[in-house]
Chain A
Amino acid sequence: MTKEHQNYLKKIKREKIIVITFQILILVGFLILWEILSKYKIINPFIFSSPSKVIETIKNLYLNYNLIGHILTTLYETLIAFILGISLSFIIAIILYEFKILNKIVDPYLTMLNSLPKVALGPLIIIIAGANTKSIIVMALLINLIVGIMSIYNGFNNIDKDLIKLFKTFNASRLDTLFKLTIPASYKTIISSLKLNISMTLIGVIMGEFLVSKSGLGYLIIYGTQVFNLDMVMSGIVILIVISFILYKIITYIEKKLLK
């Protein structure tokens, strides 16, 4: 290795250390500031809670309110909605791509559905599907499906036209073209759409839990609001942030493995 190369590697390493150090500093600084501001009542501790109270509340939730159960409920719903969402997006995108005329027909409706705030449909979903897990999953699907369909469909549409022509020169059947070209060629797009999909799914699930209110982190947050226990609300939000971060990291990891 040349001297320049070593210097270059060193520079990259130094940069990485700086980034991580500052990230940690910001987090710790934020927590300390939050604690102090709350302790000296510069911000209203009743509304904004404080890190120490959040930890205490989480402990309490864990011991007396079946916190693990709520987390598992949310995770379970997210997983189901996520898997369903991807499979359905994939199938629908294939159908729309293979039958272009169908795509033309439903296009305005998809656009309309996409721009509609899905929460507005909440009450309707509850009436149709009942105040249960089903409603929550339907809600999450409403949110992740359209994005999923659109990103996978775009992947299909961006396949190299020369490759499509190549398949034509071999007189390939539609099924052959679908399985030997269309799907493998958009593998990357499909995998990359997972990240967006998991965030959308979590949003949908929490929204669903807000509406249905039986269990889950969304329920904890809503319940906390109703009984005016804002420590509970804050704790719910903190746990949610951590969970969404972990889910995101897991998907990124899977993505990396699959794209290798």
Chain B
Amino acid sequence: MNKLLSITNLSKNYYHKKEEISAIKDISFSLYEGEFVSIVGPSGCGKSTLLNILTNMDTKTTGNINLKDNLKFGYMLQSDSMLSWKKVLDNALLGLEIRKEKTKENIEYVKNLFTKYGLKEFMNKYPDELSGGMRQRVALIRTLALKPDILILDEPFSKLDYQSRLKVSDDVYKIIKEEGKTALMVTHDLAEAISISDRVIVLSDRPCIIKNIYQIKREKEGTPIENRKDKNFAYYYDLIWKDLMFHD
């Protein structure tokens, strides 16, 4: 498989007035093309920090990050925040506008994504006319607009209620697969991580190190909702749950 990035012995310290916080420590893993990888770990352990360093929004303290040439990241945040004074389409084009890549082709590409994912009628509405789930899908389109090689998702569904969460994660999964993207997602929800990913990385409490990495094997590949019924689901759930509950 084609390796897109590898991280080796990555560490990050934050400095506060009274103390030095070791947020992440000695993290190493690689990401291959087409994979969907989830990261789970206790609150405040440094998951967002890891993503921020990867996407160059924060600096590392030590360690190495090797990226494939011209690798492009697309970052989808937890909140689906949009500019309330811009129409939904213009919100989806925001990244392109800022990067000065708002070409005819790219606009066409984004409009096609809207059509493809059932949001065509909403392109010319304002964000507050959309439901939470729709906004989440628009946020994904906004990220896809930049044609990234890897999608970085930081708890993308945590603001949705349980039902829309299942539905939207199914939708988002389908979109990501259909567009042939690689994804790295942080989530608090074990079931979500197991049902959506090819691999789950479990992090420990701070300082956050890798506790385990699970390659998820299923009887039959399906959508995340179908995968929840898989025979091995409970097995992984139990393993990861124990990893998170019991510290050594």
Interface residues of A (CB under 8 A from B): 160, 162-163, 165-172, 176, 180-181, 184-185, 187
Contacts and interface: CB of A to CB of B under 8 A. Distances in A.
B85 A163 contact: no
B98 A162 contact: no
A169 B99 contact: no
B98 A170 contact: yes
Given A169-B55, A184-B85, A185-B83, 19 more contacts: A162-B77, A162-B79, A162-B81, A163-B81, A163-B83, A165-B77, A166-B81, A166-B94, A168-B57, A169-B95, A170-B98, A170-B99, A171-B56, A171-B98, A171-B99, A172-B98, A180-B83, A180-B94, A187-B85
Interface in B97-136: 97-99
A112 B81 CA distance: 38
23 contacts: A162-B77, A162-B78, A162-B81, A166-B77, A166-B81, A167-B98, A168-B57, A169-B57, A169-B75, A169-B95, A170-B98, A170-B99, A170-B146, A171-B56, A171-B98, A176-B98, A180-B83, A180-B97, A180-B98, A184-B83, A184-B85, A185-B83, A187-B85
Interface size on B, as a range, is: 10 to 19
A229 B95 CA distance: 68
B150 to A, nearest CB: 13
B94 to A, nearest CB: 7
Nearest to B56: A171
B211 to A, nearest CB: 28
Most chain A beta-carbon contacts within 10 A, residue among B79, B98, B146: B98
A36 B146 CA distance: 77
A146 B43 CA distance: 42
Contact of A160 (B56, B81, B95, B99): B81
A170 B78 CA distance: 15
- 3 interchain residue pairs of minimum CB distance: A169-B75, A162-B79, A162-B81
Nearest to A165: B77
A181 B146 CA distance: 19
B77 A181 contact: no
Contacts of A168: 57
A188 B77 CA distance: 26
A240 to B, nearest CB: 38
B85 A169 contact: no
B51 to A, nearest CB: 10
A171 B75 CA distance: 11
A185 B85 CA distance: 8
A169 B77 contact: yes
A181 B98 CA distance: 11
A160, A169, A172 — most chain B CB neighbours (10 Å):
A169
Nearest to A172: B98
Contacts of A181: 83
Contacts of A166: 77, 81, 94
